[in-house]
Structure 1
């Protein structure tokens, strides 16, 4: 018996859908990671790492190569993001982040948005073509490719403290929810609906944080004139 067999055993049945332990535990950990990310806590990364490891087993049980690839991306980027946030700096620019909150958030520049969008489009075409050429890799190549690449884009944006990472997660979830129901992972589908609400909440929190961070810069000159 494989060591992952107990994780992929049935936990319970609801509305005729069989829920396995790995699907349930991994997604609950993912919810916790999302809530920690909203609070900009560095703990979001180790929890995401744990979630990725458990959901890797869940996607293996459902023969979702794209989903497995997505979780491998989650694991790798979680390690990178964890190191970056622990250093208290945004990757790439070396600026100190807000003390104790992991990273200083900001909106991406138009150039960064263009790079992320182009990377998502080219990456989806490349991975989708690979999955189509080798059917054993995925039974649903283009949605799998979209989710795989979209997850990578979202997590890179999160590690850099970009508010746009929340928008990327919304776009991934729009495809991920129906695909999980169709693939026999109903708990993932249900949890992604909860994810959507948390994403909207987190997006608002990060958006407001960017305005708070900009406030000192806008008020400083006026204070200097007054002095």
Structure 2
């Protein structure tokens, strides 16, 4: 039995929901990646990369082409984010990752990208029905994940807000698609996102305060 075949076999059943090894392992690593992101550890990116690789198999087995595409996107952005955070640590005096709120122009670009991207991807899914049985929800999660990871790579606090919005759709869609473990992990994601949002919010305020004090002096 190949590793790929084993990953897509059933691990166990809970309340009638069949849990795949790929779904369980991939999302557990994704959960660890989110916790590492909360701690501003560069290791969040290789963890996200590995999670994406494993979850490609899970979504393939569930015939969710949109999910596969999302995970391929996660893999690519994880490599970019890994490079960006590594360079950011090298440039920082204390070797840490600086976090901040986005400017209004950045927020506008992120919002516009999310709206245009969702419409474009949903249009593709509608034109090719075999890619997704839930075009708008898949497109929303697909583009929302992209926006969240781009914001995370740039150290923007808005990254957490983007994940909250993704979770609101991701939880019910995962359960409805038969990926019960993904749904459960999304619920845990929600709690971690709230804690991470608070931590990054406070850190962004402490980083601004010294700058203001220096300007006043």
For normalisation by structure 1, the TM-score amounts to 0.92
Residue number among 102, 107, 110 corresponding to 2:104 in the alignment = 110
4+ residue segments displaced more than 4 Å: none
> Which position in structure 1 is the counterpart of 2:159?
165
> Which position in structure 2 is the counterpart of 1:191?
185
- How many Å separate the matches in 2 of 1:132 and 1:5? 30
8 Å contact kept, 1:88–1:99:
no
> Which position in structure 2 is the counterpart of 1:33?
33
Which secondary structure does the structure 2 equivalent of 1:212 belong to? helix
- How many Å separate the matches in 1 of 2:99 and 2:164? 18
- How many Å separate the matches in 2 of 1:97 and 1:196? 30
Structure 1 stretch displaced more, 66-75 or 193-202: 66-75
For normalisation by structure 2, the TM-score amounts to 0.96
> Which position in structure 2 is the counterpart of 1:71?
71
Q: CA RMSD in A?
A: 1.5
- How many Å separate the matches in 1 of 2:93 and 2:119? 38
**In the alignment, structure 1 residue 220 sits paired with structure 2 residue 196:** no
Which secondary structure does the structure 1 equivalent of 2:5 belong to? coil
Match runs of 1:71-110 below 5 Å: 71-88=71-88, 96-97=91-92, 99-101=94-96, 103-110=97-104
What is the number of residues matched between the two proteins?
A: 217
8 Å contact kept, 1:33–1:43:
yes
- How many Å separate the matches in 2 of 1:206 and 1:33? 16
Larger helix share, 1 or 2: 2
- How many Å separate the matches in 1 of 2:43 and 2:55? 18
- How many Å separate the matches in 1 of 2:107 and 2:174? 28
1:221 offset after TM fit, Å? 4.6
Please give the per-residue CA displacement for 1:119-178, whole angstroms capped at 9, x wherever unaligned: 010011111011001111111111111111111010000000000010000111111110
Residue number among 119, 122, 144 corresponding to 2:113 in the alignment = 119
> Which position in structure 2 is the counterpart of 1:57?
57
1:96 offset after TM fit, Å? 3.5
Unaligned runs of 5+ in 1: 90-94
Which secondary structure does the structure 1 equivalent of 2:88 belong to? coil
Unaligned runs of 5+ in 2: none
Question: Which of the pair has more CA radius of gyration?
Answer: 1
Which secondary structure does the structure 2 equivalent of 1:88 belong to? helix
1:73 offset after TM fit, Å? 1.1
